[in-house]
Amino acid sequence: MGVAIIGASMTKFGQRDAWLQSLLAQAGEECLDDAGVTPADVEHLYVSNMASGEFEGQTGVMNALAHDLGVLPAYSERVDQTSSSGGAGIYEAWQSVASGASEMTLLVGGEKMTHKTTGQATDIIASITHPAEYKHGVTLPSFAGMTARHYLERFDAPRESLARVAVKNHKNGVDNPKAQFQKEITMEKALESPIIADPLRLYDFCPITDGSAALLFTTEERAKELTDEYAVVSGIGGATDTHVVHERDDPTIMGGVVDSSEAAYEMAGIGPDDLDVAELHDMFTILEFLQLEGIGVAEQGTAWELATDGTTQKDGELPINTSGGLKSKGHPLGASGVAQGVEIYEQLVGEAGPRQVEAETGLACNVGGFGNCVITTIMEAR
């Protein structure tokens, strides 16, 4: 059964006073409004969230949201796949409609993080690691530092190419009123910012963020009745890589990206050359390169050239992270994969405003952990 997306919304990302429950409710309500669908029509509700229990001592958030939005007695479920919870939510929502189990599925992703110190938030995120890794105080940023060093040394890539990713995504974020940062940065600022995980500096990392995003899924048949403009999920794939990061044969290959994108391309019947726009999980600048290579847009060790020659700029051949990416839009863990879907949807139905590019086919790649779990979604305009 063809699965369509007919509504999208996101709250302002950034430092928010609101707690998770009300952030989710805000995005959920706006998404239903966007599609002109009433709460009573919702049959399944999925809430993508990594760690509400650890961040704010609140569990059962899918139940809270179902009650707050008045979608009872809809089936509800919380989806946790760490940073790729949002992408996993897209997968669940797609499955629910494709299988015929639900004709109207609301997906809301969210996280509330900024009330914790950076150290506490880093520790919560680092708790996804194997105990043999955790005891060494490893953090996701330190995995990024080790991977970036290996990439730069092995492929003789210039350090500046990573800064270009940050500069590009900040530039894109200026046009996104929902982004945490709507501020351009210079190469100098990126390259002279404090070291966080050598060779990576502050501007190679996404911020800590509160926020929520939502998408509404239905059958293509129903979508045609409800609206003229919608997108379809034409391909989707999910894959899992090693839990222990150092056990991967090649630190520069994200196996989950390769496997999930291959599955998504196969389902959609397209290849990397057919993409018009993509949202990649730039939690760290180096990840934009690894994903461009993993989804088959660039050969191994060459994606840095696309940042340097302008290919991935908004006016380039394949615009990457027109939303500003995690880098400038922010990264409220469970919301991020959903927000990637929101951007691709808005690009495909022509609702991206000043960020609009010409696009019929878009891809979103949502990465959990350090590539541990990955969901790749391909959407097409209808």
Our finding on whether 315 is near another protein (CB under 8 A) is: no
Our finding on whether 300 is near another protein (CB under 8 A) is: no
Of the pair 1, 132, the CB lying nearest another protein is at: 132
Our finding on whether 124 is near another protein (CB under 8 A) is: yes
DSSP 202: G
Our finding on whether 156 is near another protein (CB under 8 A) is: no
In the region spanning residues 158 to 197, those forming contacts with another protein, defined by CB under 8 A, are 194-197
Residues 329, 279: Cα–Cα separation, whole Å: 12
Binds another protein by CB under 8 A, chosen from 57, 73, 100, 119: 119
Residue count, binding to another protein (CB under 8 A): 41
Binds another protein by CB under 8 A, chosen from 56, 63, 68, 149: 149
Our finding on whether 134 is near another protein (CB under 8 A) is: yes
Is residue 68 classed exposed, middle or buried when 0-12, 13-18 and 19+ CB atoms within 10 A define those classes? Answer: middle
Paired tokens of 183: 């501020």
The least distance separating another protein from the CB of residue 372, rounded to whole angstroms, comes to: 13
In the region spanning residues 219 to 258, those forming contacts with another protein, defined by CB under 8 A, are 242, 244-247, 251
Binds another protein by CB under 8 A, chosen from 68, 123, 262, 274: 123
Our finding on whether 209 is near another protein (CB under 8 A) is: no
Those residues whose C-beta lies under 8 Å from the C-beta of residue 374, and which sit 6 or more positions away, are 84, 87, 238, 239, 240, 241, 254, 256, 257, 259, 260, 365, 366, 367, 368
Number of helices (H) and strands (E) in the chain: give both, helices first.
15, 11
* DSSP β-ladder status, 231-240 and 373-381: antiparallel
**Which part of the chain contacts another protein (CB under 8 A), choosing from 28-36, 113-121, 181-189, 212-220?**
113-121
Of the pair 135, 273, the CB lying nearest another protein is at: 135
Of the pair 95, 122, the CB lying nearest another protein is at: 122
Of the pair 75, 134, the CB lying nearest another protein is at: 134
Our finding on whether 59 is near another protein (CB under 8 A) is: no
Our finding on whether 145 is near another protein (CB under 8 A) is: yes
Our finding on whether 141 is near another protein (CB under 8 A) is: yes
Phi, psi of 10 (to 5 degrees): -150, 150
The least distance separating another protein from the CB of residue 85, rounded to whole angstroms, comes to: 18
Cβ neighbours, 10 Å, residue 111 = 31
| Residue in 44, 43, 42, 53 with CA at minimum distance from that of residue 20 | 53
Residues 235, 268: Cα–Cα separation, whole Å: 4
**According to DSSP H, which parts of the chain are helical?**
20-35, 52-56, 61-69, 85-98, 118-126, 131-134, 140-155, 159-173, 187-192, 220-226, 255-268, 285-294, 303-308, 325-329, 333-348
14: left (phi over 0), alpha (psi -120 to 50) or beta: left
Binds another protein by CB under 8 A, chosen from 15, 58, 95, 120: 120
Of the pair 40, 132, the CB lying nearest another protein is at: 132
The least distance separating another protein from the CB of residue 195, rounded to whole angstroms, comes to: 6
HSE-CB of 205 using CA atoms within 13 angstroms:
22
Of the pair 26, 83, the CB lying nearest another protein is at: 83
**According to DSSP H, which parts of 216-332 are helical?**
220-226, 255-268, 285-294, 303-308, 325-329
The least distance separating another protein from the CB of residue 86, rounded to whole angstroms, comes to: 22
Residues 179, 342: Cα–Cα separation, whole Å: 13
Are 315 and 277 in contact, with CB atoms under 8 Å apart? no
Our finding on whether 57 is near another protein (CB under 8 A) is: no
The least distance separating another protein from the CB of residue 327, rounded to whole angstroms, comes to: 16
**Binding residues for another protein, per CB under 8 A?**
54, 117-120, 122-124, 126-127, 130-139, 141-142, 145-147, 149-150, 153, 194-200, 242, 244-247, 251
